[in-house]
Structures are given as structure tokens and as C-alpha cells.
């Protein structure tokens, strides 16, 4: 029986500033509500152009999650 690993996909804006900073941010209201994000979790960002970036959840404050982009 094959294991299936499904990564959580979160929407976030990723532009030149985010790439330079190494971080993107997503508010709770931008999520579907069933992602159950936690610090340390590996996720995939789907940016506004529909492209995917690997990231890790690295912080949370005031309803906003910090996502650290994989280099």
C-alpha cells in the first residue's frame, strides 16, 4: 500500500520583496479554514499567479502567519 503525502496549500502574495526578505505572509481570512496551520509545518504557497513555492510556517501573530520560503 502506497503512502500518500498531501501538503497543505496556502495562498500568499510572493513578489520581489518577499523573495528578497525570504518571507511571505498570509492572514487567517485568506485561508479556507481547514488548513490547521502550525509553526514548523511544511506547506506549499500558491501565489497570485497560480505558481507554487515550498515554504515552512515559522510564526503567527495577530491572525497573520509567517511563511519562510525555501531558498
Residues contributing to the site for another protein (CB under 8 A) = 7, 11, 13-21, 23-30, 32-34, 44, 47-54, 59-61, 63-64, 66, 70
Give the nearer residue to another protein in terms of CB position, either 1 or 49.
Answer: 49
For 9, other C-beta atoms within 10 Å of its C-beta total 12
Give the nearer residue to another protein in terms of CB position, either 7 or 38.
Answer: 7
Please say whether the beta carbons of 65 and 26 come within 8 A: yes
Minimum Å gap between C-beta 1 and another protein is: 21
5, 22, 66, 55: CA torsion to nearest 10: 0
Amino acid at each position: 500500500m502506497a503512502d500518500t503525502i498531501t501538503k497543505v496549500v496556502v495562498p500568499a502574495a510572493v513578489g520581489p520583496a518577499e523573495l528578497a526578505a525570504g518571507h511571505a505572509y498570509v492572514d487567517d481570512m485568506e485561508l479556507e479554514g481547514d488548513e490547521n496551520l502550525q509553526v514548523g509545518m511544511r506547506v506549499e504557497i500558491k501565489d497570485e499567479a497560480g505558481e507554487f513555492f515550498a515554504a515552512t510556517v515559522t510564526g503567527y501573530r495577530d491572525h497573520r502567519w509567517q511563511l519562510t520560503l525555501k531558498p
